[in-house]
Amino acid sequence: MATITRVEDPADPRVDDFRDLTTADRRPDRPGGRGLVIAEGVVVVRRMIDSPYPVRSLLGVPRRFDELAGDLAALPVPAYATDAETMAAVVGFHLNRGVLAVADRAAPPDVTELLRHARLVAVLEGVNDHENLGALFRNAAALGVDAVLLGPRCSDPLYRRSVRVSMGHVLRVPFAELPGPWPASLDLLRAAGLRVAALTPATDAQPLASAALGGQRVAVLLGAEGPGLTPEALAAADLRVRIPMASGVDSLNVATAAAVAFHALTPPP
Amino acid sequence: MATITRVEDPADPRVDDFRDLTTADRRPDRPGGRGLVIAEGVVVVRRMIDSPYPVRSLLGVPRRFDELAGDLAALPVPAYATDAETMAAVVGFHLNRGVLAVADRAAPPDVTELLRHARLVAVLEGVNDHENLGALFRNAAALGVDAVLLGPRCSDPLYRRSVRVSMGHVLRVPFAELPGPWPASLDLLRAAGLRVAALTPATDAQPLASAALGGQRVAVLLGAEGPGLTPEALAAADLRVRIPMASGVDSLNVATAAAVAFHALTPPP
């Protein structure tokens, strides 16, 4: 089981994985950093422990380790216990959630393998807001999306804030970069037997509710809030679908629009 | 048109409506306060100007007033122009959005009148998180909800953070407290010809997609994320509907679940 070790000195090198999480150039989850994945809070730490991401260590206040006792029982990694102030000194800010875990990245899944049996897939273009991306993964997990594929200009789903906003579901929903030149790479989805449906506010797109997709396996193509999908991506889709929207209203948040589409396009079991 | 007046002194009493917005006991949008409504940023200020809420005054940096010139043209209220630092000293924090408007509350609409022609209504029980409430109003506006009715233990939709998260749509979607003892007050909806559908994760509820509501006017009953609807509210509904959810996943965010339900339950035109 996890060995709980007391840490008193914020400079202790054993907690270096958790150091200065807000300072971009030292933050391990940024390009150029060490590529580690950070989970915050009991719920997300628990999901990380249950995920394919290999946990390296934990840092937290004793009360949170008590809550996680069952999860730590079979986990052969160090857990560093400290007080809230020392923890804040290490991390660089005061952490309400009281516990962190750090994991190495896992190898991305093979896209062809991932698509073989997938019934509902999300494909993202330019979703570069970490919170929207995290919320989208949370909704994908809840609504039975089998995989998320990243097209160009997406944020890193394993960035700390995405992990947190996703409630840890980015560690649970398989995702990978879609290989090959965009948007020709969408052919990979068609080759796997999926219909590519682009979500767009364009008024000449089919309303989601009447999209004739009955029973078909679907890849939902989603662009960023604001700019939306590029014309190239829209042209490469098999069909264009829209959420009927009241006039004079900005588009929905991309994660919310995704949830509506995931629900509407889920093939029947 | 709005008179643009330069303000140099943060203590100037003419900008008292905007003073110390984060300090609860002086904040005008809290019970015991003055009950004013605050809009932040060009988009939301614009929606406030277009709303039934009577604008009292504006405070902002000149660049934002330039952007709002068209909106201010017909608005006979003072606009106080200042620099970002003076504005921060008045408000109590640095405001990225650079412009605020303050309005009096408007009389709530008459519920019976509101329901007479409403085709899709949201009824909330215990939605007491200001951000969720704001997001819910944004989704209600986008998805054609005609009215939001507040049952017990809901937050004030006109609280500053709700207004902001709603992108100003709380000023646009009619809302009112549902009068009478809860949940017997739901009879008012039935009397108006609406079917009351409670959204719940209970596995024996009908999946949204197969809820036999074809063409009927619907009131969607929504509870808070976490506790959900009370047994009393569930029992008072005409039917219970659910969003099919993957196992092992927390419920969706209440505003997201609401969006999925609003889309699925919108009667055809």
Mean pLDDT, residues A246-269: 87
Q: What pLDDT shows up at residue B237?
A: 97
- Please check the confidence at residue A247 and state whether its pLDDT lies above 70: yes
Contact A142 B252 (CB under 8 A): yes
Of residues B120 and B96, the one with the higher pLDDT is B120
Contact A59, A40 (CB under 8 A): no
- Domain identity same for B72 and B123: no
Overall domain count for chain A: 2
Q: Is the model's pLDDT at A96 over the cut of 90? A: no
The CA distance from A72 to A55, in Å, is 11
Query: CB of A139 within 8 Å of any CB in chain B?
Result: yes
Closest residue in chain A to residue B253, using alpha carbons only:
A139
Q: What is the DSSP string of chain B?
A: -PEEEE---TT-GGGGGGTTTT-GGG-TTSTTS---EEEESHHHHHHHHTSSS-EEEEEE-HHHHHHTHHHHTT--SEEEE--HHHHHHHHSS--TT-EEEEEPPPPPPPHHHHHHS-SEEEEEES---HHHHHHHHHHHHHTT--EEEE-TT---TTSHHHHHHTTTGGGTS-EEEPPSSTTGGGHHHHHTT-EEEEE---TTSEEGGG---TT--EEEEEEBTTTBS-HHHHHHSSEEEE----TT-PPPPHHHHHHHHHHHHPPP-
Of residues A141, A249, A255, nearest to B142 (C-beta): A249
pLDDT at A25 over 50: no
Whether A246 has its CB under 8 Å from any CB of chain B: the answer is: yes
pLDDT given for residue A204 in this prediction: 92
Residue A133 shares a structural domain with residue A216: yes
pLDDT over threshold 50, residue A66:
yes
Asked if residue A33 has pLDDT above 70, the reply is no
CATH number at residue B62: 3.30.1330.30
Query: What pLDDT band is residue A210 in, cutting at 50, 70 and 90?
Result: confident
Please identify, among B58, B74, B103, the residue that sits at the C-terminal boundary of a domain: B103
Condensed to tens digits (0 to 9), the pLDDT of residues A121-177 reads 999 999 999 999 999 999 999 999 999 999 999 999 998 899 999 999 999 999 999
Question: Which value does ipTM take for this structure?
Answer: 0.91
In whole angstroms, give the CA distance from residue B50 to residue A26: 47
Q: What's the pLDDT band for B122 if we cut at 50, 70, 90?
A: very high
A69-85 pLDDT, tens per residue? Answer: 999 999 999 999 999 99
Residues B96 and B115 in one domain: no
Tens digit of pLDDT for each residue in B172-221? Answer: 999 999 999 999 999 999 999 999 999 999 989 999 988 877 779 999 99
Q: How far is B218 from chain A (nearest CA, A)?
A: 17
Q: Per the structure block, which two tokens stand in for A178?
A: 């879609």
| Last residue in a domain, options B103, B131, B159 | B103
The CATH number of whichever domain residue B171 belongs to comes to 3.40.1280.10
User: Do A79 and A121 belong to one domain?
Assistant: no
Interchain CB distance below 8 Å, A256 and B256 = yes
Dist CA A137 CA B135 (whole Å)? 18
Do B153 and B236 fall within a single domain?
yes
- B170 and B235 both lie in a single domain: yes
Give the residue-averaged pLDDT of A7-31.
77
Average pLDDT, chain B: 91
- Distance of alpha carbon A116 from alpha carbon A39, whole angstroms: 30
Reported as a pLDDT band with limits 50, 70 and 90, residue B25 is very low
Q: Which helix (H) or strand (E) holds A80?
A: strand A78-81
pLDDT of the residue at B166: 96
DSSP H stretches of helix in A143-230 = 160-165, 187-191
B119 and B240 co-located in one domain: yes
Among residues B122, B163, B104, B120, which one has the least CA distance to residue B265? Answer: B120
Mean pLDDT of A216-226: 92
**Closest CA of chain A from B16, distance in Å:** 32
Whole-number pLDDT of residue B54: 96
For residue A30, is pLDDT > 60? no
Chain A contact present for B260, CB below 8 A: yes
Nearest residue to A241 (alpha-carbon basis) of A227, A229, A224: A229
Given pLDDT bands bounded at 50, 70 and 90, which one contains residue B125? very high
Mean pLDDT, rounded, for A86-95: 91
Measured distance CA(A63)–CA(A57) in Å, rounded: 17
Query: Does A100 score more than 60 pLDDT?
Result: yes
**Percent residues over pLDDT 70 in chain B:** 94
Counting beta carbons within 10 angstroms of the beta carbon of residue A216, is it exposed (0 to 12), middle (13 to 18) or buried (19 or more)?
middle
Half-sphere exposure of A214 (CA within 13 A, CB side): 2
Contact between chains at A266 and B244 (C-beta distance less than 8 A): yes
Residue B35's pLDDT band, with cuts at 50, 70 and 90, is confident
- Contact residues on chain A for B225, CB-CB shorter than 8 A: none
Backbone angles phi, psi at A183, to 5 degrees: -95, 10
d(CA B221, CA B117): 18
Whether B80 and B115 map to the same domain: the answer is no
Kindly report, residue by residue over B137-185, the tens digit of the pLDDT: 999 999 999 999 999 999 999 988 999 999 999 999 999 999 999 999 9
Instruction: Verify that B145 and B199 share a domain, yes or no.
Output: yes
At residue A253, the pLDDT reads 93
Query: What's the domain range around A41?
Result: 3-103
Give residue B226's pLDDT band: very low, low, confident or very high (50, 70, 90): confident
DSSP H stretches of helix in chain A: 42-49, 62-67, 69-72, 84-91, 111-116, 130-142, 160-165, 187-191, 231-236, 254-265
Residues B212 and B118 in one domain: yes
**Beta-carbon-side half-sphere exposure of residue B2 (alpha carbons within 13 Å):** 25
Residues whose CB is less than 8 angstroms from the CB of residue B25 and which lie 6 or more positions away in sequence, other chains included: B32, B33
Nearest to A141 among B138, B243, B249 (CB): B249
Q: Are strands B55-60 and B99-103 parallel, antiparallel or unpaired?
A: antiparallel
* Domain limit, last residue, from B85, B103, B121: B103
**A89 and A198 together in one domain:** no
Residues A130, A192, single domain; the answer is yes
CB contact under 8 A, B249 and A169: yes
Is residue B257 over pLDDT 80? yes
